[in-house]
């Protein structure tokens, strides 16, 4: 019996410090075939040498917008399921097999799970739990993405139907994409159990360097969507925060001088 398949795009720009970790995680996936495309935007630090060493296909996409590179890579995929993984993030060995099985079982278009957070050296910091699918629309209307992109996969057909990642955004297009998927009625499935991916935290990552620009993009997004929120939406956000209350307390305690 043939293994299930998933296509994964890895966007890169001078990613040599962490890329090998990410590729090792992808190549270590069990009971699934992973097709990898690296979408590079002009790396000059040995990133492409690493890709050559791993025998991976690469495409060049002009710099300036990571989501342009992701779209270009995903549109070269011919697998039923797809995702992208940043060049400093990880996915655990059984994750894609578990997620694909659940997606097919529940006839879902998006599958997501729990995500760990690591420091730059790969040490575990904390886990953030995701809410059930029924609470996602309310959280989106309130401006919250209840799961990390690294811990999510989606059907490539649905990706095409919603127009892929909106390239008018440089920093929040993953939020916009999953917002559109959720509020357009595509079925979501939540994989419970151990975390499926790990998101690396470090000061040089794009979301940290451009936090102010990210907030400006979120304001633009809200103006475009004109989504009306309700008290029920707020309850969805509070439920999610209550789920993660122990993590918040742990982080506060650790950050105390």
Of 175, 186, 152, 156, nearest in space to 224 by CA:
175
Residue 22 CA to residue 204 CA, distance in Å, equals 17
Residue 247 CA to residue 114 CA, distance in Å, equals 13
pTM of the model: 0.94
Asked whether 117 and 198 are in contact (CB, 8 A), the reply is yes
Range of the domain at 204: 5-255
First to last CA, the chain: 56
pLDDT at 109: 98
pLDDT tens for the chain, 257 residues long, are 689 999 999 999 999 999 999 999 999 999 999 999 999 999 999 999 999 999 999 999 999 999 999 999 999 999 999 999 999 999 999 999 999 999 999 999 999 999 999 999 999 999 999 999 999 999 999 999 999 999 999 999 999 999 999 999 999 999 999 999 998 999 999 999 999 999 999 877 777 777 888 889 988 888 888 878 899 999 999 999 999 998 877 777 766 55
CATH (domain of 96)? 3.90.550.10
Helix 245-255 × helix 231-243 angle, to 10°:
60
Residue 235 CA to residue 243 CA, distance in Å, equals 12
pLDDT at 228: 85
- The full length of the chain comes to 257
Q: How many domains are there within the chain?
A: 1
DSSP secondary structure code for residue 7 in this structure: E
Using CA atoms, how far residue 89 sits from 20, 134, 242, in Å, is 10, 27, 26
Four-point Cα dihedral 87, 195, 129, 71, nearest 10: 30
CB neighbour list of residue 143: distance below 8 Å, 6 or more residues apart: 218, 222
Residue 166 CA to residue 143 CA, distance in Å, equals 17
pLDDT at 249: 78
Residue 250 CA to residue 42 CA, distance in Å, equals 40
pLDDT at 254: 65
Of 187, 40, 175, 161, nearest in space to 109 by CA:
187
* Angle value at C-alpha 146, between 120 and 14, nearest 5 degrees: 30
């Amino acid at each position: 019996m043939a293994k299930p398949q998933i296509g994964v795009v890895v966007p890169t720009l001078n990613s040599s410090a962490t890329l090998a970790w990410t590729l090792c995680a992808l190549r270590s996936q069990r009971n699934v075939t992973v097709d990898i495309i690296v979408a590079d935007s002009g790396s000059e630090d040995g990133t492409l040498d690493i890709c050559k060493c791993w025998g991976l296909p690469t495409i060049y996409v002009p710099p300036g917008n990571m989501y342009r590179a992701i779209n270009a890579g995903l549109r070269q995929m011919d697998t039923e399921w797809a995702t992208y993984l940043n060049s400093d993030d990880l996915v655990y060995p059984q994750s894609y097999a578990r997620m694909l099985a659940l997606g097919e079982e529940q006839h879902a278009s998006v599958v997501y799970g729990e995500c760990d957070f690591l420091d730059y050296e790969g040490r575990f910091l904390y886990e953030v739990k995701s809410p059930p699918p029924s609470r996602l629309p309310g959280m989106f209307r309130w401006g919250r993405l209840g799961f990390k992109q690294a811990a999510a996969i989606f059907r490539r057909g649905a990706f095409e139907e919603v127009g892929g990642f909106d390239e008018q955004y440089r920093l929040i297009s993953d939020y916009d994409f999953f917002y559109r998927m959720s509020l357009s009625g595509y079925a979501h499935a939540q994989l419970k159990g151990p975390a499926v991916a790990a998101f690396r935290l470090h000061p040089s990552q794009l979301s940290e360097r451009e936090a102010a620009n990210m907030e400006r993009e979120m304001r633009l997004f809200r103006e475009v969507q004109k989504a009306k929120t309700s008290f029920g939406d707020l309850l969805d956000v509070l439920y999610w925060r209550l789920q993660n209350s122990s993590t918040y307390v742990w982080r506060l305690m650790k950050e105390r001088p």
